[in-house]
């Protein structure tokens, strides 16, 4: 497989309006993710909400093998036509990594068919992400768990289709659990949802978290991007005698 | 569990414009389905596209445990707000049985997140539906396969999420196969897609096919219909010390 | 479906040698389970390790729709031929509910093909069992979680095949999580593993826990018990011309 | 990932006793498979039943990332201790590709927990293997289907656990269908069952079939081989206060 071409998409609004966010991510949350993936040898671009077409033109998508998505306060500002474009590209084979509050993004809900609802709490509590499928490619090189001293809590019930593969489950200090690392295939495209990444914590500087994102990109990278044919097969493959 | 309340929804357009359809289904395709389900003791209503709100008012849905759906030539005439209403009801627990050309209905595509595309051929060929999960409730009382002497062909690749449970796979005389009986859960709701039922064949008079629809209704009937909470859990269940 | 006939199988050794166990379960751990299931209207027998053929004769199994299994200190004393007999009956359609330390029973390991290994700790800690699939029949009538003030901890990685349906995940006070309610189908038989039930705690007197076992029995009850045919199909269904 | 080290295991009995087999595979069925995988750059050994320890010593397995398995007439001659050794290695992460009549091998049945039973017919009929999951790594580079002019038929019901991923379904001229390309994970190990390969047909010289086996090896190659810990976690990760 050729080197995956990654587009790290970021809403990039919190950093411009919330000092507590820009203090943690002075160059935006997308920057440490893009930097890490580049260091692993991937071919990485970034794109943000306020660029024309949200930075997700047909041309950009045509050269993207895997798209990562972080959004939160401005899900509603993402144009429906761009969402449809991204969905079609995923169905044709592009990988998609949905991060944290992306659970409520239009693209995630559209691909899942569910609300993406969950419980949450901002209490700076401890999260321990347990690997429940250690043979999965996304678990490559990880220990039995990843510990984050301070994160926002997400709790079940997480309203998503049962994952095709469940790789990680989080324990939260305040008493909840959450299916934190979930894989689905839709069309030819592979989708990985990865829970951590609240905007006021330096989660995307954590090397283990970055490794999971990298593993997710590798897992989601397509073998080929092509549409599923819709064909009226007028000439049957075999003779029909009935 | 109480007796499931079923609404058999039907597009009911072909019968009004195509004599070859009304010859087979003089009272509409929904009628033999509703009749059979009633004979099994279920509480059955029907609803059709050209009724106000397509017969799917809030009141009707509130009293529906399982909805069956057949549509084809007029998918585009189904109003988006009704589709959203049905989707929400499914996510809250209502069962949904999608029949044949319903694979391209708005509601099915919205719940699946995929195109629902497939191959097809109208050549009146033989279909043999094999049971691959004989212990499944939907397979109750069936033989190893169901044979239909004349049906429209649907062929893979069928662009749907991998079924949570695959119950049936069809063999077609012309050389194709198809995942014909597929189960998914979305939110609290259970969805069963069942392939056969081209409008020019008396498929919905076939007692084995009707039995599958009945089994599907029983399987999809909810235990309780309630929304998934979206809660900011401000007071944690456990003391947070980190 | 007829009323399921249940056999509650119990190792019944701890109670005879450990006072701390017989203090909690003076009539054996199987007794409150059998009593509850009977009160729900099921047809219930019990069987124990030290009976002839462990109480699982061909005749008993032939009249059992669902078998529940608790064992721990004497897994090795269960005869291989009885295990093979139970396995065959499950493959033919009998439901099996495996409780707690049954994760290391011969029958569970044989049906799973894996070691059933896990982490554990006896520290009388709090367990909170979260429902992650609230639409599942086994979750019928439950709240969002079940809380047990004192239980043994089981932690991931639990070495089982990915469940066909994951219904519950436990949070433990000491920092672990566990896939606590797991469903599989093997052959025609349905298997439900349910984690709680350490022998020194009154877990099987807890009405919510008993309700889960009851729901599990209902879910696992077969529609028909019959072997999968192994047939040399000498006469093809269709003419072969190639 | 480093280059996978493959051991192509073959029963190698038919070729010695059945001229119709040795005419097709004069060097044994394992030879064209091993040759092809070597040509793709993999590190390939072969091993056969009649070698000491069936060629599967601890040392050989320790240097095997993926094992392929073809057996038929002599399943019963494979020693139980070797089967247990291979099973443990799979659970620790080794990939396993089970070919054709290997559905009844001890190792496959032990890992599946089911009988592996199916229907069959030796009638030299046409098989068409349809790809139902075109985005799957095992489908890389394939067309919509693979056609084999002459093969033995295998028909449903195939008594295996529902595959974690179903990649291919076969159509047979005589009227059956079969889940032909099935993926499971057991422990850390990935297992791929691939149907074609009757000993009297040159199936393992077919470049598309060989490509599927190669893709299967790539998919099943482990990221790391290590046992799942069985640990009494005496010191909890978090303070227990209940």
Three-state secondary structure along D198-242?
A: CCCCCHHHCHHHHHHHHHHHHHHCCCCCCCCCCCECCCCCCCCCC
Judging contacts by C-beta atoms under 8 Å, the chain B residues touching residue C165 are 164
Report, as an integer, the average pLDDT of C46-65: 98
Judging contacts by C-beta atoms under 8 Å, the chain C residues touching residue B227 are none
pLDDT bucket at A133, cuts 50 / 70 / 90 = very high
pLDDT at C159: 97
pLDDT at A1: 63
Judging contacts by C-beta atoms under 8 Å, the chain C residues touching residue A130 are 155-157, 176-177
Judging contacts by C-beta atoms under 8 Å, the chain A residues touching residue D176 are none
Residue A115 in contact with residue B227, Cβ under 8 Å? no
Distance CA B28, CA B51 (A): 14
Say if A229 is an interface residue toward chain B (CB within 8 Å).
Answer: yes
With CB atoms and an 8 Å threshold, state whether C117 touches D230. yes
Say if D186 is an interface residue toward chain C (CB within 8 Å).
Answer: yes
With CB atoms and an 8 Å threshold, state whether B223 touches C141. yes
The answer, yes or no, to whether residue B66 has pLDDT greater than 80, is yes
pLDDT bucket at B1, cuts 50 / 70 / 90 = low
pLDDT > 70 fraction of chain C, expressed in percent and rounded = 100
Report, as an integer, the average pLDDT of D159-187: 98
Report, as an integer, the average pLDDT of B197-209: 98
Mutate one of C156, C170, C195 to test the A interface: name it (highest A CB count within 10 A). C156
- Element at D53 (helix H, strand E): none
Q: Which residues of D200-237 are buried (b: 16+ CB within 10 A; e: fewer)?
A: bbebbebeebbbbbbbbbbbbbbbebeebeeeebeebb
With a CB cutoff of 8 Å and minimum separation 6, the contacts of B99 are: B68, B69, B70, B194, B197, B213
pLDDT at C1: 63
Mutate one of D104, D228, D232, D239 to test the C interface: name it (highest C CB count within 10 A). D228
- Of D40-44, D135-139, D238-242, which gets the smallest average pLDDT? D238-242
- Residues 3-62 on B with a CB inside 8 Å of C are none
> What's the mean per-residue pLDDT of chain B?
96
pLDDT at A219: 98
Report, as an integer, the average pLDDT of A1-20: 94
Residue B68 in contact with residue B108, Cβ under 8 Å? no
pLDDT at A230: 82
Judging contacts by C-beta atoms under 8 Å, the chain B residues touching residue D156 are 130-132, 144, 169
Q: How far is CA B20 from CA A37, B10, B25, C66, in A?
A: 60, 17, 9, 50
Say if D125 is an interface residue toward chain B (CB within 8 Å).
Answer: no
Which residue of B lies nearest to D156 if distances are taken between CA atoms? B132
The answer, yes or no, to whether residue C124 has pLDDT greater than 70, is yes
Judging contacts by C-beta atoms under 8 Å, the chain D residues touching residue A133 are 185
Residue B113 in contact with residue A110, Cβ under 8 Å? yes
Judging contacts by C-beta atoms under 8 Å, the chain D residues touching residue C232 are 119-121
With CB atoms and an 8 Å threshold, state whether A135 touches D228. no
The answer, yes or no, to whether residue B223 has pLDDT greater than 90, is no
C-alpha radius of gyration, chain B, whole number: 19
- pLDDT tens for A24-60 read 999 999 999 999 999 999 999 999 999 999 999 999 9
- Of A105-119, B141-155, C172-186, D223-237, which gets the smallest average pLDDT? D223-237
Residue C11 in contact with residue C72, Cβ under 8 Å? yes
Distance CA C67, CA C5 (A): 9
pLDDT > 70 fraction of chain A, expressed in percent and rounded = 100
Three-state secondary structure along chain C?
A: CCCCEEEEEECCCHHHHCHHHHHHCCCCCHHHHHHHHHHCCCEEEEEECCCHHHHCCHHHHHCCCEEEEECCCCHHHCCHHHHHHHHHHHHHCCEEEEEHHHHHCHHHHHHHCCCCCCEEEEEEEEEEEEECCCCCHHHCCCCCEEEEEEEEEEECCCCCCCCCEEEEEEEECCCCEEEEEEEEEECCEEEEEECCCCCCCCHHHCHHHHHHHHHHHHHHCCCCCCCCCCCECCCCCCCCCC
Distance CA C159, CA D229 (A): 9
The answer, yes or no, to whether residue D218 has pLDDT greater than 70, is yes
The answer, yes or no, to whether residue D228 has pLDDT greater than 80, is no
The answer, yes or no, to whether residue B168 has pLDDT greater than 70, is yes
- pLDDT tens for D72-131 read 999 999 999 999 999 999 999 999 999 999 999 999 999 999 999 999 999 999 999 999
Give the three-state DSSP class for A40.
coil
Query: Chains with 3 or more CB pairs closer than 8 angstroms to D?
Result: A, B, C
With CB atoms and an 8 Å threshold, state whether D150 touches C242. yes
Mutate one of C117, C169, C180 to test the A interface: name it (highest A CB count within 10 A). C169
Say if A156 is an interface residue toward chain C (CB within 8 Å).
Answer: yes
Residue B73 in contact with residue B12, Cβ under 8 Å? no
pLDDT > 90 fraction of chain B, expressed in percent and rounded = 92
Angle, alpha carbons B70-B73-B78 (nearest 5°) = 70
What's the pTM value of the predicted model, to 2 decimals?
A: 0.97
- pLDDT tens for A60-89 read 999 999 999 999 999 999 999 999 999 999
Which residue of C lies nearest to D177 if distances are taken between CA atoms? C237
Report, as an integer, the average pLDDT of C217-229: 90
Residue of A155, A165, A177 with shortest CB distance to C177: A177
The answer, yes or no, to whether residue C208 has pLDDT greater than 70, is yes
Mutate one of D117, D148, D171, D236 to test the B interface: name it (highest B CB count within 10 A). D171
pLDDT at C194: 98
Judging contacts by C-beta atoms under 8 Å, the chain C residues touching residue A172 are 171
The answer, yes or no, to whether residue A227 has pLDDT greater than 70, is yes
The answer, yes or no, to whether residue D242 has pLDDT greater than 80, is no
The answer, yes or no, to whether residue C231 has pLDDT greater than 70, is yes
Residue of B159, B229, B242 with shortest CB distance to A119: B229
Work out the minimum CA distance from B179 to partner chain A, whole angstroms. Answer: 15
The answer, yes or no, to whether residue B242 has pLDDT greater than 80, is no
With CB atoms and an 8 Å threshold, state whether C175 touches A134. no
Say if B93 is an interface residue toward chain C (CB within 8 Å).
Answer: yes
The answer, yes or no, to whether residue D230 has pLDDT greater than 90, is no
pLDDT at C226: 86
pLDDT bucket at C62, cuts 50 / 70 / 90 = very high
- pLDDT tens for A208-221 read 999 999 999 999 99
Eight-class DSSP state of A232: B
pLDDT at D1: 63
Judging contacts by C-beta atoms under 8 Å, the chain D residues touching residue B155 are 130
pLDDT bucket at D51, cuts 50 / 70 / 90 = very high
């Amino acid at each position: 497989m050729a080197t995956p071409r990654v587009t790290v998409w970021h809403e990039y609004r919190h950093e411009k309006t919330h000092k507590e966010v820009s203090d943690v991510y002075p160059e935006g949350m997308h920057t440490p993710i893009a930097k890490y993936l580049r260091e692993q040898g991937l071919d990485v671009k970034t794109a943000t909400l306020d660029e024309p077409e949200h930075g997700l033109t047909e041309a950009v998508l045509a050269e993207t093998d895997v798209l990562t998505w972080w959004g939160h306060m401005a899900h509603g500002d993402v144009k429906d036509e761009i969402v449809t474009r991204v969905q079609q590209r995923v169905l044709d084979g592009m990988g998609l990594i949905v991060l944290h509050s992306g659970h409520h993004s239009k693209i995630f809900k559209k691909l899942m068919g569910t609300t993406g609802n969950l419980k949450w709490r901002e209490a700076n509590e401890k999260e321990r992400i347990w690997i429940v499928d250690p043979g999965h490619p996304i678990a490559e090189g990880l220990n039995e768990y990843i510990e984050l001293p301070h994160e926002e809590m997400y709790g079940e019930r997480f309203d998503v289709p049962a994952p095709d593969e469940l790789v990680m489950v989080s324990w939260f200090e305040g008493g909840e659990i959450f299916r934190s690392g979930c894989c689905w295939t839709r069309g030819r495209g592979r989708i990985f949802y990865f829970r951590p990444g609240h905007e006021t914590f330096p989660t995307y500087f954590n090397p283990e978290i970055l490794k999971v994102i990298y593993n997710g990109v590798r897992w989601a990278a397509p073998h080929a991007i092509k549409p599923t044919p819709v064909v009226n097969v007028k000439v049957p493959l075999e003779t029909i005698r009935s």
